[in-house]
Structure 1
Amino acid sequence: MSKVAIVTGGSSGIGRATSEALAKAGYKVVLSGRRQTELDNSEQLCLEAQPTKAPENILTVAGDVSNQEAVVALFKAAVDKFGRVDVVFNNAGIGAPDVAIEDLPVVTFDAVMAVNVRAAFLITQEAVRQFKVQQPQGGRLINNGSISAHVPRMNSAPYTMSKHAITGLTKCTQLDGRAFNIACSQIDIGNATTALGDTSAPKAQPSGHDLVEASFPVSDVADAVVYMSGLPLTTNVATMTIMATTMPSYIGRG
């Protein structure tokens, strides 16, 4: 029987690429995002990628995952259609403008925390509820962290803080899920080419100069998530860092 995967932030970028890769690997895919038109585009890509070309194996659910009612509705729709959930890619996230910390509006900080932290918690909470009650019990949750959880960029306090929070959420879920056959992983991504992670423009370096940094295709992230998803629940990639090999300021001094 095909496994069922929920992907948040599935309307673009990493979420879209991962949804497509999961569909190609034979998963039934539930796409979540705020923009129905973009979800429809992702759905079409998934349909074209999957071996069976079966539209009944793809479901889109538009909504704001920082809203608890929307998260509950997402999981209900997935279970109503497919009967269970096996994998959740907790991927939805946003960044903040590259401005000095003293100039950042609090409303912008709150928006980042709502999507990157509150939504991730709500998705985890509902995933754990479903994993515990379904038979066979258990499932896999994969959190989208960031290299910023280890090494921040300049002027990135809200985003970096949010990704540190994801690391804490991952570790707690790994511990709390053990007794219920729940595996939790985190993938920390550095310089994948997406709309959110635009690597074409020079970026300020701690040394004071600007640099166009090395990047890598988002499809490599998608393939990594498919690999993690396919492991038996007795095996877990606790954390994975995937990055451009020559990305500066992470391994060694940049």
Structure 2
Amino acid sequence: MTTKYAVVTGAGSGVGRAAALALLADGWSVALAGRRADALAETVTMAGNAGPRAMPVSTDVGNPEAVNALFAHIRSEWGRLDFLFNNAGGNVPAGPIEDLKYEDWARVVQVNLTGSFLCAQAAFRIMKEQDPQGGRIVNNGSISAHVPRPDSVAYTSTKHAITGLTKTLALDGRKYDIVSGQVDIGNAATPMTARMAKGVKQANGEMKVEPTFDVAHVGNSVVMMANLPLDANIQFITITAAKMPWIARG
């Protein structure tokens, strides 16, 4: 196949933007999914000469109707899908579990977990039915899929659940040549980590500034996973700032 087709969710900023730009630079056609049309348009502009291969689609991944519309558009425009990077996610301010509002918990679960499921389900259906059959799904798990930060029960719970989603997709997709992996990222320099510039709470309660690394390295890692033949898979990859305190969060 000469043309490869991908979807990146949360493509308007941060990790999603880096992955989308890296895929476009590598020759992929990429559907950019995200809630903000202006941010998606900025990603297209940043792609330069590769911009014409970018297809921005305003999407709320937590909304089943919006996800169905996104993948229906992909079927209509491309007729197939080779790669999904399930990246879109959200969080709430850190705080004690006893103070977390149900509405905030539900919002994080809806975007991080349900949104990833909805997109994976829709991609799975296309990949199963297309000819040649198969494709690859990579989920953004985060370091929080391994160990929590203090006061992060909603985010950490969803990211641990993403690991279960990744493993189940990998198992259930075997007979259809649909493979699934996960990238776990720690402190890539994005707008999210920029909010930690004055320090982030450690396990012992102290506030500490943590090192970051260039988010472009994440994009390159995603492209490496995307370009593997379907008889090979990177099941899990962890990429962090080398001196980030994440082993036992210490």
TM-score by length of 1: 0.95
Alignment of 1:12-27 (within 5 A): 12-27=13-28
- Relative to 1, partners in 2 of residues 1:174 and 1:37: Cα closer, same or farther, differing over 3 Å? same
Match of 2:241 among 240, 244, 250: 244
Aligned length: 248
Partner of 2:201: 204
Distance in 2 of aligned mates of 1:86 and 1:249: 33
Contact 2:203 2:249 (8 Å CA) reproduced:
no
Could you list the runs of 5+ residues in structure 2 that have no partner in the other structure?
none
Partner of 1:98: 94
Q: Does 1:186 align with 2:188?
A: no
Shift of 1:58: 1.6
Distance in 2 of aligned mates of 1:196 and 1:38: 15
Contact 1:144 1:186 (8 Å CA) reproduced:
yes
Match of 1:120 among 112, 116, 121: 116
Shift of 1:49: 5.4
Q: Deviations over 1:157-194 (max 9, x none)?
A: 00000001100000000100000000100000011111
- The 4+ residue runs of structure 1 with deviation greater than 2 A are none
Partner of 1:28: 29
Partner of 2:72: 76
Could you list the runs of 5+ residues in structure 1 that have no partner in the other structure?
none
Shift of 1:79: 2.2
Shift of 1:30: 0.4
TM-score by length of 2: 0.96
Contact 1:35 1:62 (8 Å CA) reproduced:
yes
Q: Deviations over 1:72-101 (max 9, x none)?
A: 111111121122110000000001111111
Shift of 1:210: 1.6
Q: 2:243 is paired with a residue of what secondary structure? A: coil
Distance in 1 of aligned mates of 2:100 and 2:115: 22
Partner amino acid, structure 1, of 2:209: V
Shift of 1:43: 1.4
Partner of 2:210: 213
Shift of 1:212: 0.6
Partner amino acid, structure 2, of 1:35: R
Shift of 1:249: 3.3
Match of 1:109 among 105, 115, 118: 105
Q: Deviations over 1:37-92 (max 9, x none)?
A: 1111111122x052xx6x2x221110211111111111111121122110000000
Partner of 1:156: 152
Distance in 1 of aligned mates of 2:206 and 2:37: 40
Partner of 1:37: 38
| Identity value in percent | 46
- Relative to 1, partners in 2 of residues 1:205 and 1:41: Cα closer, same or farther, differing over 3 Å? same
Distance in 2 of aligned mates of 1:117 and 1:253: 23
- Relative to 1, partners in 2 of residues 1:19 and 1:249: Cα closer, same or farther, differing over 3 Å? closer
